[in-house]
Amino acid sequence: MSKIEGIIFDWAGTTVDFGCFAPVNVFIDIFKHAGIEVTMEEAREPMGMLKIDHIRAMLAMPRVSSLWEEKYGRAFTEQDVKNLYAEFEPALMSSLSAYTDPIPGVIETVQALRNEGLKIGSTTGYTRTMMDVVIPNAAEKGYAPDFVVTPDETESYGRPYPYMIYRNMEQLKLSASWKVVKVGDTASDMKEAVQAGVWAVGVIVGSSEMGLSFEAYHALTESEKEAIISKTAHAFMQNGADFTIQTINDLPQVIEQINRLLSEGKRPKSKSL
């Protein structure tokens, strides 16, 4: 019988760093140093991409691009992208270890999935140098997937390209894309899953898409929580998610549901984005 063989998780905002705050503030700071005030929403929109691609995507936003031209009297260049990234990487590295706490429910859920015989892979928008900080810190706190791929290992073709997922499948010996589930917290995670032909699951609470800290989320009223959960779920579905879950604790139930669909001959739905 066809069953799910492996789960491929994103890192920040999905399994560690509730709300995905490590990179956001650094993006805002480096643009500020360049004389451009970007919003939290603009800093978050490309989240999940390789970080130099993220900077390029921010500079290409009409409002940011216009501010850049106003300030510098010209359109941004690839050298500007490189200059901003050269400032971004050391600033992120200096604070990254503080953002490696597993999100509540992750350790227990991953153990439950492993008990069912599932392999646990991962992809990220961080470089290998960044992950050299995150991986050991997260492991000390109880979270360690079976495999980690960064865009460095796929010639800098990060999300939404599917190659990091394929590397996980090869390493973990997963037999078919439709027996794999990708779990993430951004639009680019969903697009990565779609392009790899795997099941796409968006996790809502703690996500970069939601963009709230643990304290800010828990300070909301029930109706405010419902509204932001609904809005975040909609954003994931618009970007190709097959399922959304409120927290990682809901994942085993979704895996059961997918296994039922597989037994009926169903596959991840084909989506045109």
**8 A C-beta contact, residue 181 and residue 168:** no
**Residue 44 pLDDT more than 50?**
yes
Binding site as annotated, residues: 10, 12, 185
Which uninterrupted H or E stretch holds 120? strand 119-122
Q: Which of 1.10.101.10, 1.10.260.40, 1.10.150.240, 1.20.200.10 is the CATH number of 22-98? A: 1.10.150.240
* Confidence tier at 73 by pLDDT (50, 70, 90): very high
Q: Which two tokens stand for residue 45?
A: 């929109």
The average pLDDT across 152-168 equals 97
Is residue 160 reached through a cis peptide bond, with omega within 30 degrees of 0 on the bond before it?
A: yes
In this chain, the answer to whether the domains covering 6-20+100-263 and 22-98 adopt an identical fold is no
The average pLDDT across 225-233 equals 98
Question: Per the residue annotation, which of 17, 51, 53, 191 is the catalytic one?
Answer: 51
**Residue 179 pLDDT more than 90?**
yes
**Residue 273 pLDDT more than 50?**
no
> Could you give the C-alpha distances from 88 to 25, 39, 95, 113, 149, in angstroms and in order?
10, 17, 11, 36, 21
What are the residue ranges spanned by the domains of the chain? 6-20+100-263, 22-98
Main-chain dihedrals φ then ψ at residue 25, nearest 5 degrees: -65, -30
The average pLDDT across 127-133 equals 97
Main-chain dihedrals φ then ψ at residue 221, nearest 5 degrees: -75, 165
Q: Which two tokens stand for residue 75?
A: 């359109």
CATH fold, domain 6-20+100-263, is Rossmann fold (3.40.50)
**Measuring CA to CA, which residue among 3, 2, 10, 243 is closest to residue 121?**
10
Binding site as annotated, residues for Mg(2+): 10, 12, 185
Active site residue 51: yes
**8 A C-beta contact, residue 181 and residue 198:** yes
**Residue 173 pLDDT more than 80?**
yes
pTM, entire model: 0.94
Q: Which two tokens stand for residue 265?
A: 């001959």
**Residue 41 pLDDT more than 50?**
yes
Percent of the chain with pLDDT over 70: 98
Local structure of 170: helix, strand or coil: helix
Counting Cα atoms < 13 Å in the Cβ hemisphere of 91 gives: 18
pLDDT tens digits for range 77-126: 999 999 999 999 999 999 999 999 999 999 999 999 999 999 999 999 99
* Confidence tier at 2 by pLDDT (50, 70, 90): confident
The average pLDDT across 60-80 equals 98
pLDDT tens digits for range 239-271: 999 999 999 999 999 999 999 999 999 999 754
Q: Rounded mean pLDDT of the chain?
A: 96
∠ at Cα 190 (259, 217), nearest 5°? 95
Percent of the chain with pLDDT over 90: 97
The rounded distance, in Å, linking the Cα atoms of 84 and 89 is 9
Question: Per the residue annotation, which of 10, 17, 53, 242 is the catalytic one?
Answer: 10
**Residue 218 pLDDT more than 70?**
yes
Local structure of 201: helix, strand or coil: strand
Please tell me the predicted confidence (pLDDT) of residue 130: 97
**Residue 1 pLDDT more than 70?**
no
Which uninterrupted H or E stretch holds 168? helix 163-172
Active site residue 80: no
